[in-house]
Amino acid sequence: MHRFFVPPHSIKESRVVLRGTIVHQIRDVLRMRPGDDIVLLDNSGWAQRAELVTIDRDAVRGRVVEKWKLETEPQTRITLYQGLLKGQKFEWVLQKGTEIGIIAFMPVMAARCVISTVNDVSDARIERWEKIIVEAAEQAGRAALPHLSNAIMFPHACEQAGRAGLALIPWEGERSRGLREALQDVPKSKEIGLFIGPEGGFTEEEIATAQERGVIPVSLGPRILRAETAGLVAASAILYELGDLG
């Protein structure tokens, strides 16, 4: 069944009124008919099955026929601090990261990023990123939409993550501390900040800056992963280690 994230105000008691791009999606793309069912997600942790009643050009109306609590959010809350990447690689990370169960994405401007300032991240690009997250969250049946922040500078990101809880920075130069070791005795419901570099990786100065702010370098093993792979592998491994992948 098709799942859609909708603004909470589109559901009042059991009456559903949907407007905007979802109307085109239901009417023209999916060619749904009155009597068909959809599942509505409103970021509250609940899912509601609605039967479509009328499908017009400007609005789709329906009624809620069933409601249940979703148990799809991981207890371990990972924020991915991802160095900005070229082309579509950042989009891939958002899409796959949402499926895996990342809670928040923080685009980070690091020394070796190809773009030069945070202002190079256009509003149109952010809007596209948000759309990718929504679609991935619908597909994955997430109970809550992962949060996407504006791009921030690396030192600022380290400060924020260092204050928030456990913060890890996978670095291929780390020889002793592995990811598993860093997760020992970490409670399941923990906030974890995870830093992944851009294509060229982090500089030694950045690793030093991170450490000063309490962000711990870890190894992801002997093979070098691409920037768009590393965060997904690390996030999956963390969720697995802490019992969040079933």
Which of residues 15, 68, 224, 243 is near ligand SAH by CB under 6 A?
A: 224
| Residue 74 beta carbon to ligand SAH: minimum distance, rounded to whole angstroms | 21
Task: Give CA–CA dist 122/150, Å, rounded.
Answer: 10
For residue 202, state whether it binds ligand SAH (rule: CB under 6 A).
yes
| Residue 90 beta carbon to ligand SAH: minimum distance, rounded to whole angstroms | 13
Number of neighbouring beta carbons within 10 Å of residue 153: 12
Footprint of ligand SAH on 169-188 (CB under 6 A): 170-172
For residue 62, state whether it binds ligand SAH (rule: CB under 6 A).
no
Q: Which residues contact 80 (CB under 8 A, 6 or more apart)?
A: 93, 97, 102, 104, 105, 106, 194, 196, 231, 235
User: Are 85 and 227 contacting, i.e. CB atoms less than 8 angstroms apart?
Assistant: yes
| DSSP E strand boundaries for 156-226 | 166-170, 191-196, 216-218
| Residue 194 beta carbon to ligand SAH: minimum distance, rounded to whole angstroms | 9
Footprint of ligand SAH on 204-223 (CB under 6 A): 219-221, 223
For residue 141, state whether it binds ligand SAH (rule: CB under 6 A).
no
For residue 101, state whether it binds ligand SAH (rule: CB under 6 A).
no
For residue 197, state whether it binds ligand SAH (rule: CB under 6 A).
yes
DSSP for 48-79, please give it: EEEEEEEE-SS-EEEEEEEEEE---S-SSEEE
The closest residue (CB) to ligand SAH is: 197
For residue 230, state whether it binds ligand SAH (rule: CB under 6 A).
yes
User: Are 141 and 93 contacting, i.e. CB atoms less than 8 angstroms apart?
Assistant: no
Q: Provide the binding-site residues for ligand SAH, judged by CB under 6 A.
A: 170-172, 196-197, 200-202, 219-221, 223-225, 227, 230
